[in-house]
Structure 1
Amino acid sequence: MKKTLPEGFLPGERLTFEKFTQWHEDNRKVSSIVLSSMSNEIQKQYERYEDVWSIMHRMRELYAVQDRHIRYAVTKAFFGARMIEGSFVREHGVMMLSLVEKLKDLQADLEKEEMYVDVILQSLPPSYDQFIINYNTNGLEKSLHELINMLVQ
């Protein structure tokens, strides 16, 4: 197991017995809280770890791959979304906003909100071409929620 220093200490820095004792006690408390939040089966896998950093590091290693798969699926759904001609724009807008929120939660931000707006506009059927031309020609800079409300109106 990799030994870690208390937070805020640098390698080679002198650590007093009092500071180390306090860190060790804090680490024990936090480790107990983290372990108690797990199911018994998972708890047994992590009880052998000496500090909370090791527990969290191992969990990140195990579950980061799952986040990548989820992010890929949400990104694919977002860029591949197409509104069916004749369906309700409100439902399509809500779905697109939901995908944007999921992408943001997964830290898959697309840099600027304009990118989200472009993808949403591209997901609309041909009957919205005039709206898209007007939106782009007039240089409107609306939030995602304002854009969806404009589409609904």
Structure 2
Amino acid sequence: MAKCYIHVSIANVLQHQHQSMTTAYDMLKSLKEMFGEQNGAAKQTAMKALLTTKIIEGTSVREHVLKMMSLLNELEILGAVIDKESQVEMVLQTLPNSFQQFRLNYNRNKMDLSLAKLLNELQAVESIIKQ
């Protein structure tokens, strides 16, 4: 049954190549050999994007944090393991100087935030800063 599911979910060219394989395990092993290296390159690309992303002063913090969350999600899908606390720290490090007071409060109060809560807090701070 697993072999049938794999077979219908891959491209026609790959179906033809894997038609003679007797087990789902053999098919998965072959596919991993074919595409495993691409996973590593994709992970490197996503990690580089994550580490080099900085928000430009004056742009929307919401859009920026959503972009960071997307990159973190992509890395997770590719097999990277980054704990939630480190994810929040990575986002905080990309913020401009106008969020310095928020970072100080976060560290001083040892706040425990998810990325979603962080987004809400940063949007509130952004609205105060704009006033």
Given the superposition, is the C-alpha separation of residues 134 and 63 from structure 1 closer, same or farther in structure 2, using an over 3 Å criterion? same
Work out the CA distance in 1 between the residues paired with 2:2 and 2:109: 55
Give runs of aligned pairs for residues 24-103 of structure 1, distance below 5 A: 29-103=1-75
For each residue in 1:14-43, what CA deviation from the matched residue of structure 2 results, as whole angstroms up to 9, or x when unmatched?
xxxxxxxxxxxxxxx443443233333222
Higher relative contact order (CA 8 A, sep 6+): 2
Aligned to 2:87: 116
Which 4+ residue blocks in structure 1 deviate beyond 4 angstroms?
Answer: none
For each residue in 1:61-87, what CA deviation from the matched residue of structure 2 results, as whole angstroms up to 9, or x when unmatched?
111111111111111111111000111
Unaligned residue ranges in structure 2 (runs of 5+)? 125-131
Given the superposition, is the C-alpha separation of residues 132 and 36 from structure 1 closer, same or farther in structure 2, using an over 3 Å criterion? closer
> TM-score normalised to the size of structure 2?
0.86
1:36 maps to amino acid: V
User: Which structure is higher in helix share?
Assistant: 2
> TM-score normalised to the size of structure 1?
0.74
**RMSD across aligned positions (CA):** 1.5
Work out the CA distance in 1 between the residues paired with 2:15 and 2:77: 27
- Higher mean displacement: 35-44 or 96-105: 35-44
Work out the CA distance in 1 between the residues paired with 2:2 and 2:65: 42
Work out the CA distance in 2 between the residues paired with 1:136 and 1:123: 15
1:91 maps to amino acid: E
Aligned length: 124
User: Looking at CA atoms only, which structure, 1 or 2, has the larger radius of gyration?
Assistant: 1
